[in-house]
């Protein structure tokens, strides 16, 4: 409903109080006064066509979070403005409403078109427009540059951690392969020494039987020792040393040179002197040293092969985690298993997590996949885990849990650090705000995370904190309304 415009009423508003009478006349001539009954005025995401200034009543501004509209401001102050207030920036930014506007009571607004507001700004306040443009675009560029630097720093840290994690199993596999080569060569020499005994040498079938018997006993012994260790009753270093001494004495008594070296191999395989007595009871004494040497080397090759298998599996796991983390071979947006993303991120960050920090996974069962940009969610997990680890300062527990909450999947990161002080809790999602020392943080990690979750995934990122219990919750909707998520601002 349109009403007459009053110059005197406009003059009472803080937004127009410094304008000349001529300027106020011009505004009244080109603008209108509109009355609205309780209800919506405009919706977030629609084309921004009008600039609104409150004359009387109450305004409620809300933002879309998932499938809900969350109230962000409510005021009855005359002169507050909203709508197309970025029209002066023209086509350089998307000209859409950044929030939704509704009125809970009958309200009146002074309304001008976006085109008119842009003209007023450029013609009446050219210097202010230049300053505002510089501030707006300068801040955007600064955020992009610093945000890019933070991503590069995070990538560098992850790359260093991944290199360290890959180096350990790769080095173990290399050492095992080198030792394996020596053992294979030594086993050939032992077989030649056995064959040199002619008719007294055991046949191939006997040697195979001896090896199978030794392997079977070793496997049973190792399984028993593993179960004992799990119960806290495994062999102590002193007990292992005693077994090696007994084995060495037994080997020395049978003329085996350097028996102490073979003793370690047999004991590690889980065998004792009594086991070897049973296994080699049919072998002649003159051939026994060569047979025992061959048996030791063959058992060691099996152990080395297992080490190489374990190391290469570890490398494969790390490469798979890196591939999952980076999502290099995936579509940009897809339905994803959040647990797979969390696991790959934890694996990638393993080198950065101190030994004193325990990571506990409390995943819900049977959770559905969610629509997401997986590489971007991995960046969110990285930021939240990195912050939690830094807050705990070398010692504490990080619990990562997932649960289904109505129409959303909730991921919670809970740490036992000192907590977020109440006086800064409302600022931690602001760009460039950081509590870390100079050079340790850019203040964009949580801002970027919020933009990814809220802007790109229609979700929500919130925090609850008391000393010893800080929880960051990421809420991801199970479905997106429309073709896809809105771009972050």
Shared-domain flag, residues 433 and 360:
yes
Q: What is the mean pLDDT of residues 168-172?
A: 75
Confidence category of residue 67, pLDDT binned at 50, 70, 90:
low
Shared-domain flag, residues 173 and 299:
yes
The DSSP secondary structure of 293-334, one letter per residue, reads: HHHHHHHHHHHHHHHHHHHHHHHHHHHHHHHHHHTTTS-SSE
Q: How many Cβ atoms are within 10 Å of 167's Cβ, its own excluded?
A: 12
Shared-domain flag, residues 80 and 19:
yes
Shared-domain flag, residues 294 and 241:
yes
Shared-domain flag, residues 307 and 353:
no
- pLDDT over threshold 50, residue 294: yes
CA separation for the pair 45, 87 (Å, rounded): 15
Confidence category of residue 320, pLDDT binned at 50, 70, 90:
low
The reported pLDDT for the residue numbered 439 is 40
pLDDT digits (tens, 9 = 90+) for 470-480: 999 999 999 87
Q: What is the mean pLDDT of residues 247-268?
A: 83
Shared-domain flag, residues 341 and 308:
no
Domain finish residue from 124, 149, 177? 124
- Distances, alpha carbon 229 to alpha carbons 225, 234, 235, 236, 247, in Å: 6, 4, 8, 10, 22
Q: What is the span of the domain harbouring residue 335? A: 331-477
- Distances, alpha carbon 77 to alpha carbons 29, 59, 89, 103, 303, in Å: 24, 9, 26, 13, 79
Residue 151 lies in a domain: no
Shared-domain flag, residues 164 and 190:
yes
CA separation for the pair 183, 124 (Å, rounded): 89
The reported pLDDT for the residue numbered 396 is 93
pTM for the predicted model, two decimal places? 0.46
Shared-domain flag, residues 170 and 311:
yes
Shared-domain flag, residues 119 and 176:
no
The structure tokens 């190489």 sit at 308
The reported pLDDT for the residue numbered 237 is 81
Residue 204 lies in a domain: yes
Residue 111 lies in a domain: yes
The structure tokens 């409510």 sit at 74
Write the DSSP symbol of residue 200. Answer: G
288-326 and 338-348 helices, crossing angle to 10°? 120
pLDDT digits (tens, 9 = 90+) for 355-402: 899 999 999 999 999 998 888 888 889 889 988 998 898 889 999 999
Higher pLDDT, 40 or 379: 40
The reported pLDDT for the residue numbered 101 is 92
Higher pLDDT, 219 or 395: 395
Shared-domain flag, residues 313 and 335:
no
Domain finish residue from 257, 287, 317? 317
Over the range 457-488, which residues count as b (16 or more CB within 10 Å of their CB) and which as e?
Answer: bbbbbebebeeeebbbbbbbbbebeeeebbee
């Amino acid at each position: 409903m349109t009403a007459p415009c009053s110059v005197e009423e406009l003059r009472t508003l803080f937004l127009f109080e410094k304008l000349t009478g001529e300027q106020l006349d011009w505004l009244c001539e080109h603008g209108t006064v509109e009355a609205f009954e309780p209800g919506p005025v405009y919706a977030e995401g629609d084309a921004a066509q009008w600039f609104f200034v409150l004359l009387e009543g109450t305004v409620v501004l809300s933002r879309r979070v998932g499938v809900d509209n969350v109230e962000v401001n409510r005021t009855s102050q005359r002169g507050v403005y909203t709508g197309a207030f970025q029209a002066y920036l023209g086509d350089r930014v998307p000209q859409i409403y950044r929030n939704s506007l509704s009125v809970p009571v009958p309200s009146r607004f002074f309304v001008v078109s976006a085109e008119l507001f842009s003209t007023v700004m450029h013609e009446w306040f050219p210097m202010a427009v230049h300053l505002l443009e510089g501030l707006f675009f300068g801040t955007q560029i600064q955020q992009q540059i610093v945000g890019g630097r933070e991503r590069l720093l995070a990538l560098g840290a992850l790359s260093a951690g991944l290199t360290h994690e890959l180096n350990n199993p790769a080095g173990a596999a290399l050492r095992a392969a080198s030792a394996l080569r020596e053992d294979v060569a030594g086993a050939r020499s032992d077989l030649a020494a056995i064959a040199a005994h002619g008719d007294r040498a055991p046949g191939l079938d006997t040697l195979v039987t001896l090896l199978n018997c030794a392997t079977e006993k070793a496997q049973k012994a190792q399984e028993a020792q593993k179960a004992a260790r799990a119960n806290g009753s495994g062999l102590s270093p002193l007990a292992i040393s005693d077994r090696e001494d007994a084995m060495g004495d037994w080997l020395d008594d049978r003329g085996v040179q350097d028996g102490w070296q073979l003793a370690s191999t047999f004991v590690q395989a889980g065998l004792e002197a009594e086991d070897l007595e049973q296994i080699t009871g049919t072998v002649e004494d003159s051939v026994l040293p060569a047979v025992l040497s061959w048996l030791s080397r063959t058992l060691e090759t099996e152990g080395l092969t297992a080490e190489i298998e374990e190391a290469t599996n570890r490398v494969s796991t790390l490469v798979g985690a890196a591939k999952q983390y980076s999502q290099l071979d995936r579509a940009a947006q897809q339905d994803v298993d959040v647990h797979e993303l969390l696991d790959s991120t934890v694996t990638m960050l393993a080198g950065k997590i101190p030994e004193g920090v325990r990571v506990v996974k409390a995943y819900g069962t049977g959770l559905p996949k969610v629509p997401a940009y997986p590489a971007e969610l991995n960046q969110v997990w990285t930021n939240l885990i990195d912050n939690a680890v830094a807050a705990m300062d070398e010692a504490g527990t990080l619990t990562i849990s997932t649960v289904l909450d109505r129409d959303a999947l909730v991921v919670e990161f809970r740490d036992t650090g000192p907590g977020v002080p109440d006086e800064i809790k409302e600022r931690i999602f602001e760009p460039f705000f950081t509590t870390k020392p100079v050079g340790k943080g850019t203040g964009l990690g949580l801002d970027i995370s919020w933009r990814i979750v809220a802007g790109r995934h229609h979700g929500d990122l919130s925090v609850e904190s008391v000393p010893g219990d800080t929880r960051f919750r990421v809420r991801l909707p199970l479905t997106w309304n429309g073709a896809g998520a809105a771009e972050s601002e």
